[in-house]
Amino acid sequence: MAKVKSKWVCVECGYESAGYLGKCPECLSWGSITEEIQSAAKPCTRDDFKPELLHEITLDDQIRIPTGIGEFDRILGGGLVQGSLTLLAGEPGIGKSTILLQLCQCARSLYVSAEESANQIKLRAERLKINSDNLYIYPQTCMENIKAQIEELKPQIVVIDSIQAIYSQTVSSSAGSVSQIRECCNILMNIAKTKNITVLVIGHITKDGAIAGPKVLEHMVDTVISFEGDKYKSYRMLRSMKNRFGATHEVGIFEMGVNGLTQVNNPNELFLNARSNAQVPGSAIIVSNEGTRPLLVEIQALVGTTPYPTPRRVANGVDTARVHQILAVLEKRIGLNLSKQDVYVNVTGGIDVTEPCADLGIALAVATCARDVVVDSQTVILGEIGLSGEIHPVSNIEKRLNEAVCAGFKKAIIPHGNEVTGPKIEVIKVKRLMDAISACLNKGENV
Ligand code: TYD
Ligand code: MG
C-alpha cells in the first residue's frame, strides 16, 4: 500500500512544516498548525479553457434569483447570482439553518443536511410554514453522493448545512479538518461554476468569532455573509463581508419569532425603543452608516469613582482603543479628569459601531455623565474627533440627517466642515469638541 504523505500547515498564514509545532514560527499564533494529508496529483479539469483577449470576451447576462426575502436580496446586491458560491457564517443557534430553509422556497432547491435528520428538518419546516413542491431534503455527509444527487436532480439552489460536517472520499482526514473543508469547497465551487447552480454553504464560527476552517475558504467563495446578533435577544443581523457581485458591509435586520425569521422594516424602533423617555445623563444618539443604510443608535456611558487602583475602561459595541483615545482627548483638551473614574461605554441593542463618526457621541455621553447633565433627547450627534480636539467631517451627512428627521429628531450637532442643504432639521455646526459640549447641553450648562 502506498505510504500516506502528510504535511503540517498553519491555518492562519499557510506556513508549512514537516512536523507538529505548538506555535507557528511565521505568524506566531498558537495551536494553528494542523495536519494535512497530501492526496495524489489530480488531473487538470479546466484544460478546455484558453487565454482570451479582454475585448473579445462576451459577457453573459448575470441572472439573479430573487430570494423572496427582501433584506437578504438587498445585502446580496439584488438577489442570488446564478452559479455563485456563498458562505453564511454564524454562531450556533443564531438561525443559519432557519433562514436558508426559508430561502429554499424561492426556487427548485436541494437542502443537504449533514447535521440534522429529515424528520428534524420537516419539524422546522412545519414551524416555519414552508410550503414548497420543489424543495428536496437530503440528509447526507459524503460529498461524492451529494454531487451525484445534484447531477440527477438539477436544482437551481443547493444548500450545504454545514461545510464542517461533510467529507470527501478523496481525502483521508476526518470531516471538519482543514484539508476536508478545502477539498469539499473546491468540489462545490466546481459544481457552481460548471453547472451554473447557486450554492449556499453554512459555516461555523470559532469561539473567538472567526470562521472555522482555513482562511482560504473565505478567499474561494464569491460572497461571505455573517449572521450576527445576540442569541438571547430576538433580533439578528446579516452582514455581507465580501461580495464579488455587489457592495460589502450592507446589513439586513431580522427578528427571530415563533414562526422563524421576519424582516425588520424599521430597525430604528428596535434600537431606540428601549430608551426611556426620562432623560438620563450619559446618553447620546448617533446615526451610524451600516453599508448604505443609516441606523440610529444610542450610546450610553457610565462614569463613577473607581474602587480599584487602576480605573476600569469597558467598551461594548465600540472599539476599546477608540474609547481610550477619546478619553485622552477629553482629559487633555477639555480638562475632564477621569484618572480616578471607571468608564463604561455601551451601544444599546447589541449592535457593533465601527465608524469614527461615533466619536463625538461617545465623548458627549462620557462628558455629560461625568458632569451629571443630560444631552437633549431630540438631538443627534455626528462627528469624528481628532487628537487636538477638532471635529472632522463625516461621510453621507444628508442621508444620516434624513434618517434622523424621519425618526422625529429636531436638532443635529454636526462637524463644521460638512455642508447640509436638504434635511429639515436644526443644524449646529461645531469646530471643536468644546463647542459641541456647550451646544448639546439642555439648558446651556457648562461641563
Ligand atoms: P437554527 O436555525 O437551528 O440555528 P443554527 O443553524 O444557526 O445553529 O436556529 C436555532 C434557534 O432558533 C433555536 O434556538 C430556536 C430558534 N427558533 C425560533 O425561535 N423560532 C423558529 O421558528 C425556529 C425555526 C427556530
Ligand atoms: Mg443549523
pLDDT, tens digit, 9 for 90 and up, residues 16-30: 888 888 898 988 888
Does residue 57 lie within any of the structural domains?
no
On the question of pLDDT at 420 being above 90, the answer is no
260 and 283 together in one domain: no
110 with 215, same domain: the answer is: yes
My answer on whether 194 and 304 are in the same domain is no
Co-location of 315 and 253 in the same domain: no
Residue 120 in contact with ligand 1 by CB distance below 6 A: no
Is residue 43 domain-resident? no
Domain-embedded: residue 331: yes
Q: Is 204 in the pocket of ligand 1 (CB under 6 A)?
A: no
- Ligand 1 centroid to Cα of residue 54, in Å, is 47
258 lines ligand 1 (CB under 6 A): yes
Final residue before a domain boundary, out of 236, 265, 294: 265
Residue 118 lies in a domain: yes
Of 265, 285, 308, the residue at which a domain comes to its end is 265
Mutate to test the pocket of ligand 1, among 97, 98, 104, 160 (most ligand atoms within 8 A of CB): 98
**Residue 224 shares a structural domain with residue 371:** no
Residues 303 and 406 both lie in one domain: yes
Supply the residue whose CA is at minimum distance from atom 11 of ligand 1: 93
Query: DSSP letter string over 283-322?
Result: EEEEEEEETTEEEEEEEEEEEEE-SSSS--EEEESS-HHH
Residue 126 Cβ < 6 Å to ligand 1:
no
Closest CA to 216 of 8, 9, 7, 4: 9
Confidence of residue 121 (pLDDT cuts 50, 70, 90): very high
DSSP string, 331-360: IIII----TTEEEEEEEGGG-----GGGHH
Q: How far is the CA of 101 from the centre of ligand 2 (A)?
A: 10
Residue 42 inside a domain? The answer is no
**Domain co-membership, 27 together with 110:** no
Q: Which helix (H) or strand (E) holds 101?
A: helix 96-103
Same domain for 261 and 292, yes or no, is no
Considering the domain boundaries, does residue 48 fall inside one? no
- Locus of grid cell 443630560: 374
Q: Whose CA is nearest to atom 23 of ligand 1?
A: 260
Query: What tens digit of pLDDT does each residue of 337-372 get?
Result: 999 999 999 988 777 888 899 999 999 999 999 988
Say yes or no: CB of residue 95 within 6 Å of ligand 1. yes
Query: Which range of residues forms the domain containing residue 235?
Result: 62-265
Per-residue pLDDT at 444: 44
> Are residues 102 and 122 both part of a single domain?
yes
Q: Answer yes or no: is the C-beta of 232 below 6 A from any ligand 1 atom.
A: no
In a domain, 51, yes or no: no
Residue 55 counted as domain residue: no
CB of 203 closer than 6 angstroms to any ligand 1 atom? no
φ, ψ for residue 81, nearest 5 deg: -80, 130
Atom of ligand 1 lying closest to residue 128 CA: 22
Average pLDDT over residues 285-310: 89
Q: 206, 235, 265: which is the final residue of a domain?
A: 265
Of 211 and 295, the one with more pLDDT: 295
- Is 244 in the same domain as 305? no
- Among the residue ranges 189-198, 257-266, 400-409, the one predicted with the least confidence is 257-266
Contact 302 CB / ligand 1 (< 6 Å): no
Residue type, 188: L
The string of pLDDT tens digits covering residues 250-295 is 888 888 888 888 888 777 776 776 565 557 889 999 999 877 788 8
Q: What is the CATH number of the domain that holds 236?
A: 3.40.50.300
**Residues 279, 252 within the same domain:** no
Atom in ligand 1 nearest the alpha carbon of residue 115: 6
Residues 254 and 275 grouped into a single domain: no
Count of domains observed in the chain: 3
